[in-house]
Chain A
């Protein structure tokens, strides 16, 4: 967009031609305007609603909107450059007989250069402000916000779900339901969720695609990400940080269900897994594996190797 428009006053101090030169810039701008006028609404209204990650959650909706806005802004930039260069290549081809001298004498043009810098600067600052606004209003846009989130949801009821990454599986703990651990990710609809993502071994990344949640699972770090579920449905979870041999196979499926169904599932699972839960370490934001299993996620028998990471340098079990 900026690329063409501002060049309408481009240098023209070359030799005057006998015949009147076509008004190249007017042509380019017209082609560009028409192309943009077609492509921008076409993308926004036809493609936009189908752009990943969909609209299952508040963050998904916002991130889809963000992507679409960026795409609508990118179209004029892409078209501007392509149309300008394409037009130039067709119009200003040199003759077959090599003419070693020629071309328009234009070493620079204050107006064009200043205009270019000015417009791109305003454009880029606008993007940064837009992105920052979107990041803050969505409480981190579904991205990992570290252990002390700067932007937190105002909702009074936030369901905490802990995501534990280990080679090569995600498991989920529900601290408000007695801290049971499940291989299934089940979430209630119309609820604000706080994912507490951590790892027992290497760095993983919890990518719940339809929820538009992505947070790295670091050992010893409680990485928090927020979203609010708006629709029920199925969720694909993939690890999006290379974590070793079976990284490619580290995926599972979750679901967003009605509140009643969730309540029923959680209560049933809590009872069914009660015996297992007793054997688990008490719920903590992070877990320290045994010293021998450092970075290996090793659970020894008969010792409680776990300590919350906030107590730095917590006692390690004898090994």
Chain B
């Protein structure tokens, strides 16, 4: 898929075939292992960590509070900060800005087509997307193992597998890791991989920012793991102060880890948001972009606008631990409410950061497997933006019983219930699309349908929680826990796996095994519900969250939940087996468009060429014309001169890249 030399001269477009080896042009090529990759990143992280820790000890080990408590938060912070910096430097993330700062022309990134590119800092959004796939799955399965530990402890109301401190650390680590993972679980892998292809672009707006987002995301993963050797942290994923202020060294890993993940979220959201707004192919008008793009765009708005609050709150917490400030210490003029407000001001938009991409995937899968246009496309897009906007006005519903702003409770009850209107549009879209459809029960479709089942329960119980009188009974109990697992796991994670089964054939060029996919689905779906539905009852019957002891009469329900959780956990082994078998051990090449999708991302070759499209496509239609036998083509992928003649004019098509060879016909 090489652009002809003639054309290349004409448009001065960079060579779409990257150099296979070589540092940059003009220098003799050197072997790949001498350049920067995961190995140098690990070396950088270890050296940085040791240096930072040593510096922290030099600076602060003499302080009374450090000597008395045995916890040197400054050393922890220094270790994590320099460790993360070393990780980024080792992978090559700061070469470019560093060169710019000292006034030199930066060397181009090392690009290669060999498998080693997956272990490098790369400007190719497809490689970053695949890195994210492995990254979020590692995150998910690590935190999933911790969930298994939680359910093991809760098998019995009174005899214990773990001590209370270990148990709280496991709960906190599980919650925090899952939340961190869920912020990026769709935007990272599928967003980065698919968005440029869906909008007809050859790359994202800021490829280095995109790669940065992944590598700092993985730094966040390593950072939150460092909490374990520090003795864990006792606060759960919400990190409420003053418990946070009271906690030991592991708390720094939580605060710094969230801050790092937050930086990654902002970077990812900023890059994809700008890409969607500015890099759409000619003719890719706002009414033609796939609904997944709308979902990611609204998510990007939340990622960039809500996350800074989290990063700031994390830094305040670190300052409370290191510089002895008192942001969250009531006795010294701070406020424990400040953390709650900052955290949930981020935390509630975060909930929709985790819901909207799932809606996008489901709405993208449904038309393909119903062979119907997406019903109420515009309502769906408006609903996603509406959810994004409203999500900034609901955060205090997490604090109904906290004593903060009691007179505001009716308002937050109202806004919370209002947000169920645009959220409910996904059901309008889904049910309308199913109407008189020709449904194919492929694996991605099964997952999409499961999202409707699970998310309905999650959504309806959310309305229960928003009602203050009912909230008095269920707040802080297993009812809440079940509710948000139904929305995040039942919604987002099911949608994510649906998306993986749907798009992996395109992303990897290999076919996933259908039988194993079905087994994975049915076990996951059935035992997800058997795990979490009893928790509604457990909560209603009075079991608070995060306890290691509970009433004797709740054992049966807890045991049903635990045993189902083990089977649910095992269902992911089926996925891993399928993934490893179908992609690595016995790969079967996938057709370029196995599901007969009309989406632009399916119209390129398999495997997708380095620059995605040989020609920038000119988009002629939205990708949902499944009902029409003689539907017009979605896009003209061919010669741009011919395309220009028939391209729609003056309808607000997106700009293309600055160095784009194709000028929209206007």
Docked pose: A296 CA to B245 CA in angstroms: 10
Q: Are A100 and B596 in contact (CB under 8 A)?
A: yes
Beyond A66-B470, A106-B373, A107-B624, is A98–B437 a contact (Cβ under 8 Å)? no
- A88 with B439: CB separation less than 8 A: yes
- The answer to whether A104 touches B437 (Cβ under 8 A) is yes
Residues of A within 8 Å of B469, CB to CB, are 59, 62-63, 66-67, 131, 134-135, 138, 141-143
User: Contact between B401 and A144 (Cβ–Cβ < 8 Å)?
Assistant: yes
Within 8 A of A (CB), among B429-452: 430-432, 434-441, 449, 452
Cβ 8 A contact of B431, one of A3, A202, A212: A3
A247 cross-chain contacts in B, Cβ below 8 A = 168, 546-547
Please, which residues of chain B bring their CB within 8 A of the CB of A140?
Answer: 406
Question: Among the interface residues A135, A145, A213, which one has the most CB atoms of the partner chain B within 10 A?
Answer: A135
Q: How far is the CA of A11 from the CA of B435 in the complex (A)?
A: 9
Q: Bound complex: CA of A29 vs CA of B203, how far in Å?
A: 49
How far does the alpha carbon of A108 sit from the alpha carbon of B627 in the complex, in Å? 13
Q: Which residues of A contact B453 (CB under 8 A)?
A: 82, 85
Q: Are B431 and A131 in contact (CB under 8 A)?
A: no
Is A302 at the interface (CB under 8 A from chain B)?
no
- Interface contact B331-A288, CB-CB below 8 Å: yes
Bound CA–CA A316/B127 (angstroms): 59
Segment at the interface with A among B209-217, B417-425, B519-527, B657-665? B417-425
- With A and B bound together, what is the CA distance between A205 and B437 in angstroms? 50
CA distance A244 to B240 in the complex (A): 11
Q: How far is the CB of B289 from chain A (nearest CB, A)?
A: 15
Q: Is A147 an interface residue (CB 8 A)?
A: yes
Which residues from 399 to 432 on chain B have a C-beta closer than 8 Å to any C-beta of chain A? Answer: 399-407, 409-410, 413-414, 417-418, 420-421, 424-425, 427-428, 430-432
Q: Please report which residues of chain B, range 622-659, place their CB below 8 angstroms from some CB of chain A when the two chains form the complex.
A: 624, 626-629, 631
Bound-state CA distance A218–B401 (Å) is 11
Q: Which of A32-40, A115-123, A154-162 contacts B (4 or more CB under 8 A)?
A: A115-123
Contact B436 A14 (CB under 8 A): yes
Chain B, residues 569-597, CB within 8 Å of chain A (1/0): the string is: 00000000000000000000000000010
CA A224 to CA B404, docked complex, whole Å: 11
Residue interface mask B603-639, A partner, CB < 8 A = 1: 0000000000000000000001011110100000000
How many angstroms from the CA of A212 to the CA of B474 in the assembled complex? 10
Give the Cβ gap from A249 to chain B, nearest Cβ, in Å.
6
A7 CB within 8 Å of chain B: yes
B439's contact among A89, A113, A120, A240, by CB below 8 Å, is which?
A89
Contact at A207–B370, with CB atoms within 8 Å?
no
Q: Contact between B414 and A128 (Cβ–Cβ < 8 Å)?
A: yes
Contact across chains for B437 and A92 when beta carbons are under 8 A apart:
yes
- From B25-33, B460-468, B502-510, the one touching the partner chain is B460-468
In the complex the two chains form, is B476's CB within 8 Å of A207's CB? yes
Contact A242-B243, Cβ < 8 Å, known A70-B467, A100-B371: yes
Is A243 among interface residues, defined by CB-CB distance under 8 A? yes
- B120 interfacial by beta-carbon distance below 8 Å: no
CB contact under 8 A between A143 and B472, given known A103-B627, A124-B420: yes
Q: Are B331 and A295 within 8 A (Cβ)?
A: yes
What's the Cα separation between A118 and B434 when bound, in Å?
A: 21
Contact indicator A135/B168 (Cβ below 8 Å): no
| CB pair A135 B403 closer than 8 Å | no
Contact of A216 among B245, B403, B542, B551 (CB under 8 A): B403
Chain B residues with CB below 8 A from A289, complex form:
331
8 A Cβ contacts from A200-247 to B: 201-203, 205, 207, 209, 212-216, 218-221, 223-224, 236, 238-247
Task: Tally B residues with Cβ within 8 Å of A.
Answer: 99
Question: Which segment of B55-63, B299-307, B375-383, B558-566 sits at the interface?
Answer: B375-383
Residue in contact with B332 in the complex, picked from A106, A143, A148, A294, CB distance below 8 Å: A294
Size of A's binding interface in residues, CB under 8 A: 107
Contact B165 A245 (CB under 8 A): yes
Q: Is B395 an interface residue (CB 8 A)?
A: no
Q: Cβ of B49 < 8 Å from any Cβ of A?
A: no
- Is there contact, CB below 8 Å, between B468 and A131? yes
Cross-chain contact B437 with A85 (CB below 8 angstroms): no
* In the assembled complex, B456 has its CB within 8 A of some CB on chain A: yes
Task: Tell me if A146 and B406 are in contact (CB < 8 A).
Answer: yes
Q: How far is the CA of A155 from the CA of B235 in the complex (A)?
A: 40
CB-nearest residue of chain A to B370: A103
For the complex formed, measure the closest distance between the CB of B570 and the CB atoms of chain A, giving whole angstroms.
Answer: 27
A300 CB contacts on chain B under 8 angstroms: none
Most chain B beta-carbon neighbours within 10 Å: one of A136, A207, A224:
A207
Closest residue of chain A to B539, judged by CB?
A: A52
**Given A131-B469, A242-B243, A248-B547: A120 touches B437 (CB 8 Å cut-off):** no
Residue on B nearest A309 in the bound complex, by CB: B330
**Interface status of A101 (Cβ within 8 A of chain B):** yes
The answer, among A63, A70, A106, for a CB contact under 8 Å with B472, is A63
Contact of B627 (CB < 8 Å), options: A102, A241, A249: A102
Contact of A66 among B240, B467, B548 (CB under 8 A): B467
B243 and A243 within 8 A (CB)? yes
* Residues from chain A with Cβ under 8 Å of B167 in the complex: 248
Separation of A66 and B472 alpha carbons in the complex (Å): 11
User: In the complex, which residues of chain B have a beta carbon less than 8 angstroms from the beta carbon of A24?
Assistant: 436
Establish whether residues B456 and A98, one from each chain, have CB atoms under 8 Å apart when the complex forms: no
- What's the nearest-Cβ distance from chain A to residue B325, in Å? 13
Interface 1/0 per residue, B285-325 and A, CB below 8 Å: 00000000000000000000000000000000000000000
- In the assembled complex, the CB of B251 is this many whole angstroms from the nearest CB of chain A, namely 12
Residue A284 is within 8 A (CB to CB) of chain B in the complex: no
Contact B375 A218 (CB under 8 A): no
**B471: interface (CB < 8 Å):** yes
Are A212 and B401 interface neighbours, CB within 8 A?
no
B242–A219 touching, CB < 8 Å: yes
Q: Which residues of B contact A288 (CB under 8 A)?
A: 331
Chain B residues with Cβ under 8 A from A240's Cβ? Answer: 475-477, 544-545
Q: Are B470 and A67 in contact (CB under 8 A)?
A: yes
Residue of A nearest to B431 (CB): A84
Q: How far is the CB of A319 from chain B (nearest CB, A)?
A: 11
B17 within 8 A of A: no
**B109 CB–A CB distance under 8 Å:** no
The answer, yes or no, to whether A179 is at the interface (CB within 8 Å) is no
Q: How far is the CA of A95 from the CA of B20 in the complex (A)?
A: 47
Contacts of A205 in B (CB 8 A): 401, 475-476
Q: Are A108 and B377 within 8 A (Cβ)?
A: yes
Do residues B372 and A144 form an inter-chain contact, with CB atoms below 8 A?
A: no
B404→A242 contact, CB < 8 A: no
- Cβ 8 A contact of A98, one of B240, B414, B596: B596
Do the beta carbons of A105 and B421 come within 8 Å of each other?
A: no
| Chain B residues within 8 Å of A67, by CB | 464, 469-470, 473
Contacts of B432 in A (CB 8 A): 7, 10, 106, 108-109, 112
Question: Are A215 and B401 interface neighbours, CB within 8 A?
Answer: yes
Nearest-neighbour CB distance to chain A for B530, whole angstroms, equals 18
Contacts of B379 in A (CB 8 A): 108, 113, 117
Task: Let me know if A124 and B417 touch, CB within 8 A.
Answer: yes
A149 at the interface (CB under 8 A from B): yes
Distance between B155 CB and nearest chain A CB, rounded to angstroms: 14
Asked if B236 is at the interface of the complex by the 8 Å CB criterion, the answer is: yes
Point out the residues of chain B lying under 8 angstroms from A147, CB to CB: 403
Please tell me if the beta carbons of B409 and A135 are within 8 angstroms of each other in the complex: yes
Given A51-B540, A219-B331, 6 more A-B residue pairs with CB atoms under 8 Å apart are A63-B473, A81-B431, A100-B371, A106-B436, A238-B544, A238-B547
Binding site for A on B (CB under 8 A): 164-165, 167-168, 234-236, 238, 240, 242-243, 245-246, 329-333, 336-337, 370-379, 399-407, 409-410, 413-414, 417-418, 420-421, 424-425, 427-428, 430-432, 434-441, 449, 452-453, 456-457, 460, 463-464, 466-473, 475-477, 540-542, 544-551, 596, 624, 626-629, 631
> Could you jot down 13 A-B contacts, CB within 8 Å?
A14-B436, A63-B473, A74-B463, A85-B449, A93-B438, A100-B596, A103-B437, A106-B373, A112-B376, A128-B413, A128-B418, A131-B467, A242-B168
7 closest cross-chain pairs (CB), A and B: A103-B372, A223-B403, A240-B476, A248-B547, A104-B436, A94-B438, A141-B469
